[in-house]
A = this chain, B = another copy of it.
Amino acid sequence: MVTIVVDAMGSDAYPVPDIIGSVTAAREYAVQIILVGDENIIRPILDSQKPGNLPIQVVHTPEMLTMQDKGMSLVLKARRPNSKNSMAVGLDLVKSGIADAFVTAGNTGAASVSSYFRLGTIPGIDRPALAPVFPTAKGSCIVLDVGANPDVKPNNLLQFAIMGKVYTERVRGVTNPKIGLVSNGEEAGKGNQLVKEAYPLLASSQLNFIGNVEGKEVIGGEVDVAVTDGFTGNVMLKTAEAVAQLLVDKIKENIKSGDFLTQLGGLLIKRSMGKIKKFMDPSEEGAAPLLGVNGLVFIGHGRSDANAIKNAIRVAKQAVDSNILDSIRDAIQVSLQ
């Protein structure tokens, strides 16, 4: 049975959403769960969910990483062999083969750095990339990297593209996914120095590379995989989230301050607006894979609720079932030949 280790100390509202999401996943999917975190606070919440015979274990960890963990002190905590924080212990369970994947809604930087040091990277991959799902006009796509690497080299973007292709094909079920390179204009030749140097690498690869793409093409659903450096990807992600939030807030505000009929209209479209909210909601996808580390890691939004955690576990299980790590290893080896 697939075993997923879940960071019970991950989400902003930890450990309740993390535990409830895990219990629901154990109920709905054929997965075994290991909760890592402070057993003293996990047990009563877990018991309140009446897990019965569900395959859920708790591994006690006396420490946790928080948003305050960064810089050199984070590196030390992430590297130290005997680290006892929930991320380190959870990742070690993956490394030792006891668990198949690690899911956390904790500090993204801490999770990325810990994964990098405890699992290492897949041979041929220099840097891991975080690959969240963006909703688009035609469904969704993944964008990578969105933050693990603020500065990259052209070859890193090629590696991101290969990993994105494999993940999209194997886990997201898209055959021969369309790959785009995020740029400040669609034409070949547009871009900063990095993009200009990465373009020919992508164009001469075996990938289904459709060229440079702007936000319009990414959000418009013209690609399945949008490749970019972690700085640009992060700015894209945060901007997209902020604009969506602003628009929804403004619409609510305008309806609320409107006349009686406008307010009535607002009530009537409430269900419809709920669909929009669901469409824009990252919790539907649960978490983003950190591709390129030598083990399966999924990192969720700090705001993850129980539903997001449950969905993250579902996606992690899909990744395990589809043997994505081997596929990435193979694809990278082929690209190096």
Contacts and interface: CB of A to CB of B under 8 A. Distances in A.
Interface stretch (A29-37, A53-61, A163-171, A262-270): A262-270
Most buried by B among A183, A238, A245, A271: A238
A191 interface: yes
Given A254-B275, A262-B268, A265-B272, A240 B238 contact: no
Contacts of A330: none
Q: For chain A, which range describes its interface: under 10, 10 to 19, 20 to 34, or 35 or more residues?
A: 35 or more
Contacts of A150: 184, 190-193, 195
Contacts of A185: 109, 234
A286 to B, nearest CB: 21
A123 interface: no
B220 A242 contact: yes
Contacts of A242: 214-216, 218-220
Contacts of A249: 137
Interface string A94-121: 0000000000000001000000000000
A250 B276 contact: yes
A150 B254 CA distance: 37
A191 to B, nearest CB: 6
Given A235-B182, A262-B269, A266-B265, A215 B240 contact: yes
A268 B272 contact: no
A229 to B, nearest CB: 7
A14 interface: no
A247 B241 CA distance: 11
Contacts of A52: none
A243 to B, nearest CB: 4
Given A246-B219, A273-B251, A151 B193 contact: yes
A288 to B, nearest CB: 15
A230 B190 CA distance: 12
B214 A238 contact: yes
Contacts of A183: 231, 235
A214 B235 contact: yes
Nearest to A150: B192
Contacts of A244: 243, 247
B192 A215 contact: no
A289 interface: no
Nearest to A221: B246
A273 B262 CA distance: 10
A258 interface: yes
B269 A235 contact: no
Interface in A267-291: 267-273, 275-276, 279-280
A252 to B, nearest CB: 10
17 contacts: A70-B187, A71-B189, A135-B246, A150-B190, A184-B235, A185-B234, A214-B238, A215-B237, A215-B240, A218-B239, A220-B242, A231-B232, A239-B240, A251-B273, A258-B272, A262-B268, A265-B267
Closest 6 pairs between A and B when the two form their complex, measured CB to CB: A265-B268, A215-B239, A215-B238, A219-B242, A184-B234, A265-B269
Given A71-B189, A215-B238, 4 more contacts: A214-B242, A255-B272, A262-B268, A264-B265
